[in-house]
Structure 1
Amino acid sequence: MKAIWTFSLIIFYLLGWSGTAKAGELSQRLANFPQWEQLTSVQRAEGDLVYPDWFAGSWEVTSTLVDLVAPLAPDIVTPGFESNRQQLNQPVSFLVRFIPQKPPITGLKLIPKIDRSSILVADRAFNSLNLARAYLGDEAVLSTKVDPDSPNRQITLLRGDSEALRRNRQLISIVTGRAIETSSNNNFITSEVFQQLFKGGSRPYFNAVESTTAYNKLAKSNPAILADQVTAVYLSPQDPDYFTAASRPVALYRYRLEFSPTPLD
């Protein structure tokens, strides 16, 4: 459960954006870490992720947990939080890629100043599978699937433990809201909120997660892209501590992401 929890916190940082935030709202939110009191303002998630052109191609991503905070401890601490300290300052690397896709006609209105025959999106299944196996191991992750009818719904199938070999575990994640903020051609910030359901344990486990990430394209260097990411965990109404936590996050994780270009066959 602890390893799965670690994975569930980071699996969606490549899942995209739509909707525009007020100027400076997301950058200020990152600057205010760890003083977060509630979910950020987002719009309903529609359509697929659209990345700037400079994300095109294949990358080796190195993700490093650089800070973690439990704002409501010791009264409320999420499962796996203490064990996640072992990940602090330990880089984890995996491959990702971004591919062109023809945009839906109705989706163009969601993407400011986009008018071209294709848009750039993440290869969702490939990226998430590589990320999951980097954290959990090849044997622990059976598959990752994206709903063909909705890029905002993803299911990751995990191998059951020795006491539950007859049933595999599932992590179901549904993106419900997103926002973006751009300050220049080389910088953009995304925030998305998603609901998570973990099935396969003694009982289903629900939560809500917000991931806010600032990407910066570097000039002629390696890594070529740096990102500052904060992932916040909020309790779901099914949790007995939900009303005690109110709107406040119960766990905050800060990551440094480094993107280095790499060829893939």
Structure 2
Amino acid sequence: MICTKSLLKILLIFSILFSFADSVSAAPIAERLQQFPQWHNKPPVQLAKGDLEYPEWMAGTWNVESTLVEKIAPLAPEIVTPGFEDNDNYLNQAIAFQVRFGTEYYSPPTGLFSKFNSSQPFVVADRAFNGKKIAQAYLGDDNVYQVKIDPDNPNQQITFLRGERKLISKITGRTKEIPSQEQFIATEVTQQLFRSPQRLYLNEVETTSDYHLLDSGNVSAEQITAIYLSPQDPDYFTAGDRPVALYRYHLDLFKQS
């Protein structure tokens, strides 16, 4: 059986890589990365519509090594999120998994305004595949049953876990910046609900990633995950829009195909 602390860790782990839509002309996200860890507000994002378009050089299947290099509790000791101390076990430990991206995973937009959007397929994440591989890397193959994506909305997914547990994720906001042909920066904000027979736990997660193409088979990235309290949390008004936990990762991606 999965312990509660392990499941709470996955609330932030699921944001790795595939939590990435319109570009903005300025570069507030790049500036935000330079200001880390002095983050006192939520990021400037737009309403998440459709899927996230990745640069063409992200297409393919990748072997990933993700390493937690820094963790900060900005409001400690008054507020510390569940599982924060346990995540010391992941510091400087490379976690390996696979992810894949491509035009074949793109689904045309549906709904009233779909006719105003381009139906030209672009490179997107295989969210179901990536989500399951990441969850299995951290929780074990036997503890992850399935990851389902809403066929009408790629921003909504459910991860089914052992013990009648599930993680419901909804991307609510995003933005991206492309400083150069070899660099891609993206931020997504996700509402996450962990449901089990014993409890409910809700929070909000920001994932900001800075990808650099080194060559055709190698990508390096710096990624920061910020955890925000939900309005249902008793410490919500104390924390406000300030993050209660910050995790900084280094990612190495090696192209397999």
- Among 166, 170, 192, which residue is 1:170 paired with? 166
**In structure 2, how many angstroms separate the alpha carbons of the residues matched to 1:178 and 1:230?**
14
Q: Indicate yes or no: 2:179 matched with 1:183.
A: yes
- Among 242, 248, 260, which residue is 2:254 paired with? 260
| Secondary structure, aligned partner of 1:59 | strand
| Secondary structure, aligned partner of 1:129 | helix
Q: Indicate yes or no: 2:205 matched with 1:202.
A: no
| Secondary structure, aligned partner of 1:152 | strand
| Aligned pairs (5 A) from 1:176-255 | 176-200=172-196, 202-219=198-215, 224-255=218-249
Q: Deviations over 1:186-222 (max 9, x none)?
A: 10100010101010053211101110001100135x6
Q: CA, structure 1 residues 170+116, in 2 after alignment: closer, same or farther (shift >3 Å)? A: closer
Q: CA, structure 1 residues 202+22, in 2 after alignment: closer, same or farther (shift >3 Å)? A: farther
In structure 1, what residue type is equivalent to 2:101?
A: F
| Secondary structure, aligned partner of 2:233 | coil
**In structure 1, how many angstroms separate the alpha carbons of the residues matched to 2:224 and 2:211?**
12
Shift, 1:151, TM fit: 0.4
- Among 157, 162, 167, which residue is 2:160 paired with? 157
In structure 1, what residue type is equivalent to 2:142?
A: E
Give me the identity figure in percent.
50
**In structure 1, how many angstroms separate the alpha carbons of the residues matched to 2:69 and 2:132?**
23
Compute the RMSD of aligned alpha carbons. Answer: 1.9
| Equivalent in the alignment of 1:164 | none
| Aligned pairs (5 A) from 1:47-66 | 47-66=50-69
| Equivalent in the alignment of 2:98 | 95
| Equivalent in the alignment of 2:15 | 12
**In structure 2, how many angstroms separate the alpha carbons of the residues matched to 1:102 and 1:78?**
36
Aligned residues: 250
Q: Which moved more, 1:78-87 or 1:115-124?
A: 115-124
**In structure 1, how many angstroms separate the alpha carbons of the residues matched to 2:116 and 2:57?**
22
Stretches of structure 1 that go unaligned for 5 or more consecutive residues are: 161-167
Matched-pair contact (CA < 8 Å) for 2:59–2:102: yes
**In structure 2, how many angstroms separate the alpha carbons of the residues matched to 1:108 and 1:19?**
17
**In structure 2, how many angstroms separate the alpha carbons of the residues matched to 1:2 and 1:131?**
17
Q: CA, structure 1 residues 17+129, in 2 after alignment: closer, same or farther (shift >3 Å)? A: closer
Matched-pair contact (CA < 8 Å) for 1:234–1:248: yes
**In structure 2, how many angstroms separate the alpha carbons of the residues matched to 1:68 and 1:107?**
41
Shift, 1:15, TM fit: 3.3
Matched-pair contact (CA < 8 Å) for 1:47–1:107: no
| Secondary structure, aligned partner of 1:15 | coil
| Aligned pairs (5 A) from 1:135-154 | 135-154=138-157
| Aligned pairs (5 A) from 1:57-136 | 57-100=60-103, 101=106, 103-104=108-109, 117-136=120-139
Shift, 1:257, TM fit: 0.9
In structure 1, what residue type is equivalent to 2:238?
A: T
Matched-pair contact (CA < 8 Å) for 1:59–1:95: yes
| TM-score with structure 2 setting the length | 0.92
Q: Deviations over 1:15-46 (max 9, x none)?
A: 35512235221111111111100110100000
In structure 2, what residue type is equivalent to 1:214?
A: D
In structure 1, what residue type is equivalent to 2:203?
A: N
Matched-pair contact (CA < 8 Å) for 2:109–2:119: no
| Equivalent in the alignment of 1:165 | none
Matched-pair contact (CA < 8 Å) for 1:15–1:49: no
Q: CA, structure 1 residues 74+134, in 2 after alignment: closer, same or farther (shift >3 Å)? A: same
| TM-score with structure 1 setting the length | 0.89
Q: Indicate yes or no: 2:48 matched with 1:45.
A: yes
**In structure 1, how many angstroms separate the alpha carbons of the residues matched to 2:147 and 2:95?**
19
